[in-house]
Chain A
Amino acid sequence: EPEVTQTPSHQVTQMGQEVILRCVPISNHLYFYWYRQILGQKVEFLVSFYNNEISEKSEIFDDQFSVERPDGSNFTLKIRSTKLEDSAMYFCASAGRATAGYGYTFGSGTRLTVV
């Protein structure tokens, strides 16, 4: 079964540092997403990406965050100047169609710990 792959599985970083979370979506998917889940809280939408540009972003996704699909394979989330409250599980997801929720596949996540 096709998978969404995320690396690293766990990243520890010092406050103020920049981190890049990496994702390899399913190869024939066209829509890409980042979600995050703070420990003990709900899964929150960050950003959706289609046709090499952001389709939609939440109020969480401010200037500290950026996404990129640099090589047609990887889909990255960059967090600049990390804060303690950025500590969370970050999930990448991809879908073949934007309006088919059943087609969303999530990666196993990157646990980001900011110290």
Chain B
Amino acid sequence: RKEVEQDPGPFNVPEGATVAFNCTYSNSASQSFFWYRQDCRKEPKLLMSVYSSGNEDGRFTAQLNRASQYISLLIRDSKLSDSATYLCVVLYSSASKIIFGSGTRLSIRP
């Protein structure tokens, strides 16, 4: 089983739509969770951290379910500029590194 698993997509949705991505992780010792965004041929950039209580940043909402080892990202009122690959990222407590999922491609159409 992959350490961090995501649906690769692509998700192709109209502007203004709500879209949700899911991610599962295999190691229950995982400590911290993040969503990164990566534009084509660019570096990954932190979008938001994910907390057990759930957290929201504007149009973006992240949820963590430790029992199911599952992370989600919800984007409301999607914009053309949201088109990117969204990377689920996990930090293990025993390691000084972050592990990336393969990413979910999102394309927003006018």
Contact = CB atoms under 8 A, between A and B. Distances in A.
B1 interface: no
Contacts of B17: none
A48 B94 CA distance: 13
A106 B44 contact: yes
B95 A104 contact: no
B42 A108 contact: yes
Contacts of A31: 96
The interface size bin for chain A is 20 to 34
A109 interface: yes
Contacts of B89: 101
Contacts of B69: none
A41 interface: yes
Interface string B62-105: 00000000000000000000000001010101011111111100
Contact of B99 (A41, A45, A48, A106): A45
Contacts of A73: none
Interface string A22-45: 000000000101010000011111
Contact of B44 (A43, A98, A102): A43
Interface residues of B, number: 25
A8 to B, nearest CB: 15
Nearest to A35: B100
B100 A50 contact: no
Given A99-B31, A99-B91, A104 B96 contact: no
A55 B96 contact: yes
Contacts of B93: 99
B102 A42 contact: yes
Contacts of A43: 38, 44, 87, 100
B20 interface: no
Interface of A: 31, 33, 35, 41-45, 48, 50, 55-56, 89, 91, 98-102, 104, 106-109, 111
Interface of B: 31-34, 38, 41-46, 49, 87, 89, 91, 93, 95-103
